[in-house]
Structure 1
Amino acid sequence: MLKIGRRVVCAFAAVAVFAAPAAAQTTLKVALHSDLKIVDPVWTTALISTHHGYMIYDTLFALDGKLEVKPQMVDKWTVSDDKLTWTFTLRDGLEWHDGKPVTAEDCVASIKRWGAKDSMGQKLMGVVADLSAPDAKTIKMVLKEPYGLVLQSLGKSSSNVPFMMPKAVASTDPNAQITDSIGSGPFIFKKDEWRAGERAVYVRNPKYKPRNELASGLAGGKVAKVDRVEWLTLPDTQTQVNALINGEVDLVEIVPPDLLPLLAKDKNIKVMVVNTAGRQYAMRFNVMFKPFDNPKVRQAVLYALSQKEFLEANVGNPAYYKECKSLFPCGSPLESTKGWDDKISGNIAKAKALLAEAGYDGTPVVFLHQTDTSGHNNLATVAKAELEKTGLKIDLQPMDWQTLVTRRAKKDAPDKGGWGAFFTSWGATDVLNPVSAAFLNASCDKATFGWPCDAELEKLRDAYAKETDPAKQKQIAEAVQLRVLEYPTHVPLGQFTTPTAIRTNLDGLLQTPSLALWNIQKK
């Protein structure tokens, strides 16, 4: 018995010895829609930079799963009786990745930098008389007049998101890129392991204090449940899908519908739509140079293009796309086809007539053509084929998405490194109204890439921002739609959703307008 007893004791001793090391680090490997080259999510509207922002930064407010604005870094807030003074109190325990406390001064500087760049931020800052930090935890915003979109602006869910940054970083000129990546969010960016074109690496922030609420959309408790996240840059979607099947990655952000049957055969993989609100394709004009400096030439494009062609070529499966002749997403409160029923339907004869009226002289249009982003790489080629039928001359210039993102910011002439048009998509939550939709910003040099300049559009956007009656807001939104027919800023090319594929050993992927990698547990 004694020997048995000793044997038992020895066995327990052995267990104690070998159980001592910590559990193996959990690593989440993902293949996203693009390579990360720009780490400043305020300087650019590129979605991959927004994804990066959500990994490392936090926000004052956020949209939950019902698309309602909820506090995030803010603990509580008050509004004065005259609706002019807003006071926000930061919650306890907020800390930058370098160990310094988050202060209201940091947040004030962050709001100002974002507000100089973002479409919605510009409108908000236009009615702000004073923005200050009375103490370390209090942000005070005094308005010139009541404004109905304060919380919606601060809780904006996608490009450009008002991410909070340290004051020293947020003091950077909004037209210059930041290189510092210190945030206060659930993950820390491993800049020393970042290799553009290869991978970006993030590790769990052990000092992050999530809200004491369940995660919902982009709001609630942001609990990082893996130790390390690796964004792997793989050359094409077929390679990404193969890596998923082989267990080399855990998640593929965008799977083309034609590859879904391949994944359906694998019991270790499941497919879901993360952004159920979907996205809207768009062609963006550069109004600074010929021929798109002439509104009639842009109107010709509105008639010539056909949404169906773009959706078929870039999505293919009708289960994942929808034709929608509305500037604002179909299914949203401001959906309307007023004035647009005969547009975007391939009317080449009407387009030719408008080009003749415009006196089009054969100036070629430089199309920036992204070749590496799934679901977008046939946008420019479809447009080229359709517009050449009208007599427009197209200079198609292929490049990867991140090169396009850098080039579209240039105001040079098209024959000197500039551009005439590019193609992209917006999350439906980005374009819900005339103020949030960046491509409707017509404030000239302050507008985003393309730089439309139209006082009438700006008056309508201001009116929308100040109106609180939903019925009157709808009337203003329809007036915006009609004005865009006279002064086109862009062309909506249909709505779509994108399937995301994950291995079945992952739990907790949230349904969000922008990809959220907290709350994911890897078994």
Structure 2
Amino acid sequence: MGLWKWVARGAVALGLATAAGAMAGPATAQTLRMVSHADIKILDPIWTTALITRNHGYMVYDVLFAKDADLKIQPQMAEKYTVSDDKLTWTITLREGLEWSDGTPVTSEDCIASIKRWAARDGFGQILLKATSDIKAIDARTFAIVLKEPFGLVLDALGKPSSNVPFMMPKRVAETDPNKQIEDYTGSGPFMLKRDEWKPGEKIVYVKNPRYNPRNEPPSMLAGGKIAKVDRVEWLAIPDPATAVNALMAGEIDLIESPVPDLFPMLKADKNIALFGWNALGSQIIMRFNTLHPPFNNVKARQAAMWALAQEDMLRAQVGDPEIYKVCNAPFVCGTKYGKGYGDLLIKPNLEKARALLKESGYDGTPVAMLQQTDLQSSNQVQAVAKQQLEKAGFKIDLLPMDWQTVVSRRARREPPAQGGWNIFFTTNITLDLDNPGINAYAAGTCEKAWFGWPCDPEIETLRAAFIRESDPAKQKELGYAISDRLVDQGLYAPVGQYKAFGAYRKDRLSGWLAGPVPVVWNISKK
């Protein structure tokens, strides 16, 4: 029986009492209390790609460009931009009156430092930086990105909506070593972090930023005017799904970012609660291999694992409702321009083929360290199913339960599993960040600069560089398919499938929740 079904029926009195203690005090008209999809322990949205930290980033920081509801990239902190006739110089001018929450003005030097730190960590940013000869300040509000060669996806890079998001930070913060976490959380976004009230495992608190300067346009997904309509936002850590739902029904909280589908009937039965498909475009779950250490430093072991997996079983365990999930083995997302499928791979297991490949890989039976984030409702049930499937092919799996923030810390370790490293972990990201071969960080083969797992594949990087430079749509699609083929052949990661995300909120209290690829808190008001 899955965890969701168990908690839907199990006793939750003790957990509810604990949650009530964390939420002590009556809700006010100016305080939004919500349960996010995970507890947060890392606050640097450039250092980690964890989605909970990305969500934190959107609370505290702002961006130069953002996607609107029509998926068009619009200026955000930028007032305007121009492109030279030779397409090599992109000049960006900031809006007047932008300030950091400490009262100092936002300058072009701040943005230059922020872009450089982001680009050092992000796969797409690395490609942009490689194509750039200089980023220089022209005046306090204007700077230029000077390219070595035409790069048609500058706005796509600076306006990417999910991890890693190019959030702007003060220069003194952005000059922090990209491989170290920041300790100063000054931003220019709609909210400010109340660090003195942050209690990991219990809650994190934000208050309205009085110095935030929103755009004049109406809000549209991640673009337009980001107006904080509540004075205070509390993210509460309630890891048990049924406890969170009971708290919502009792009026102790206002919103749950991602209630589990098994509990939807309870929510639908309450006339004061509404389900909201805030991420209708969906998310993709992936299984990531660590290519530094055996067995997955051998491509045949990665291929063996992919032929052993069956998405339907994992999605049924994780999501449950076929109306919400979709079986899809296209790395760049089904139904998109680059969403090429691959027959039965990851759909119908071929154990004979998997066992033969595993034998060819020289696998010696050493247990595979599979990390399991027990508290992350978007990807905490797939591991047990994957363990069974991989063991049928001949792998020995050591399932290691831990909270998500521990997974986030451990996946960054390059040591062998026996010394605190790992072999496999699962994660989820929005499809808007995954449907483009140039943006998809999982597809990078840049060795030590690649995303966790650190695949080293010069061929895929050559293809990605050509894709970025190409302006002809037909040739770009051909290159996108070639990247997809190479990714699957080398087993950089295994797509587990797609699903839509729904939230739940007190409709008798809240209004203004905007649809988007992330849970948008600005524009929500309390009645």
Name the residue aligned to 1:495: 498
Q: Does 1:29 align with 2:30?
A: no
* Long gaps (5+) in structure 2: 1-27
Of 471, 479, 489, which aligns to 2:482?
479
State the 1:181 CA deviation.
0.8
Within 5 A, what are the aligned runs for 1:155-194? 155-194=159-198
Please tell me whether the aligned partners of residues 29 and 526 of structure 2 are also in contact (alpha carbons under 8 angstroms): no
Please tell me whether the aligned partners of residues 35 and 233 of structure 1 are also in contact (alpha carbons under 8 angstroms): yes
Name the residue aligned to 2:280: 276
- Return the alpha-carbon distance in structure 1 between the equivalents of residues 453 and 29 of structure 2: 46
Please tell me whether the aligned partners of residues 66 and 159 of structure 2 are also in contact (alpha carbons under 8 angstroms): yes
State the 1:408 CA deviation.
0.3
Query: Given residue 439 of structure 1, which amino acid in structure 2 is its aligned partner?
Result: Y
Within 5 A, what are the aligned runs for 1:320-469? 320-337=324-341, 339-469=342-472
- Return the alpha-carbon distance in structure 2 between the equivalents of residues 227 and 399 of structure 1: 34
State the 1:25 CA deviation.
5.5
- Return the alpha-carbon distance in structure 2 between the equivalents of residues 321 and 104 of structure 1: 43
Q: Is 370-379 or 238-247 further displaced after alignment?
A: 370-379
Normalized against structure 1, the TM-score is what?
A: 0.94
Matched position secondary structure for 1:244: helix
- Kindly, what percent of the aligned residue pairs are identical? 55
Distance verdict in 2 for CA 1:370–1:352, change over 3 Å: same
Matched position secondary structure for 1:318: coil
Please tell me whether the aligned partners of residues 61 and 72 of structure 1 are also in contact (alpha carbons under 8 angstroms): yes
What CA RMSD, in Å, does the superposition of the two structures yield over aligned residues?
Answer: 1.0
Name the residue aligned to 2:521: 517
Normalized against structure 2, the TM-score is what?
A: 0.93
- Return the alpha-carbon distance in structure 2 between the equivalents of residues 388 and 423 of structure 1: 17
Cα deviations by residue, 1:34-74 (Å, 9 ceiling, x for unpaired)? 01100000000000000000001000000111111000000
- Return the alpha-carbon distance in structure 2 between the equivalents of residues 30 and 175 of structure 1: 31
Matched position secondary structure for 1:493: strand
Matched position secondary structure for 1:49: helix
State the 1:468 CA deviation.
1.7
Please tell me whether the aligned partners of residues 38 and 239 of structure 2 are also in contact (alpha carbons under 8 angstroms): no
Of 306, 315, 318, which aligns to 2:319?
315
State the 1:343 CA deviation.
4.1
Name the residue aligned to 1:92: 96
State the 1:421 CA deviation.
0.7
- Return the alpha-carbon distance in structure 1 between the equivalents of residues 343 and 126 of structure 2: 28
State the 1:427 CA deviation.
0.7
- Return the alpha-carbon distance in structure 1 between the equivalents of residues 197 and 346 of structure 2: 49
- Return the alpha-carbon distance in structure 2 between the equivalents of residues 214 and 468 of structure 1: 32
Matched position secondary structure for 2:280: coil
State the 1:369 CA deviation.
0.9
Cα deviations by residue, 1:487-522 (Å, 9 ceiling, x for unpaired)? 111000000012100100211101111111000011
Name the residue aligned to 1:45: 49
Matched position secondary structure for 1:460: helix
- Return the alpha-carbon distance in structure 2 between the equivalents of residues 182 and 512 of structure 1: 25
Of 511, 515, 526, which aligns to 1:507?
511
Matched position secondary structure for 1:491: strand
- Return the alpha-carbon distance in structure 2 between the equivalents of residues 488 and 375 of structure 1: 23
Query: Given residue 61 of structure 1, which amino acid in structure 2 is its aligned partner?
Result: F
Please tell me whether the aligned partners of residues 431 and 437 of structure 1 are also in contact (alpha carbons under 8 angstroms): yes
- Return the alpha-carbon distance in structure 2 between the equivalents of residues 426 and 346 of structure 1: 24
Matched position secondary structure for 1:514: coil
State the 1:235 CA deviation.
2.6
Query: Given residue 293 of structure 2, which amino acid in structure 1 is its aligned partner?
Result: F
Cα deviations by residue, 1:60-101 (Å, 9 ceiling, x for unpaired)? 000111111000000011100000011000001100000000
Tell me how many residue pairs correspond in the alignment: 499
Of 141, 150, 153, which aligns to 1:149?
153
Q: Is 184-193 or 354-363 further displaced after alignment?
A: 354-363
State the 1:341 CA deviation.
4.1
Query: Given residue 243 of structure 2, which amino acid in structure 1 is its aligned partner?
Result: T
Query: Given residue 496 of structure 2, which amino acid in structure 1 is its aligned partner?
Result: L
- Return the alpha-carbon distance in structure 1 between the equivalents of residues 474 and 244 of structure 2: 46
Name the residue aligned to 1:299: 303
Q: Does 1:64 align with 2:68?
A: yes
Please tell me whether the aligned partners of residues 89 and 146 of structure 2 are also in contact (alpha carbons under 8 angstroms): yes
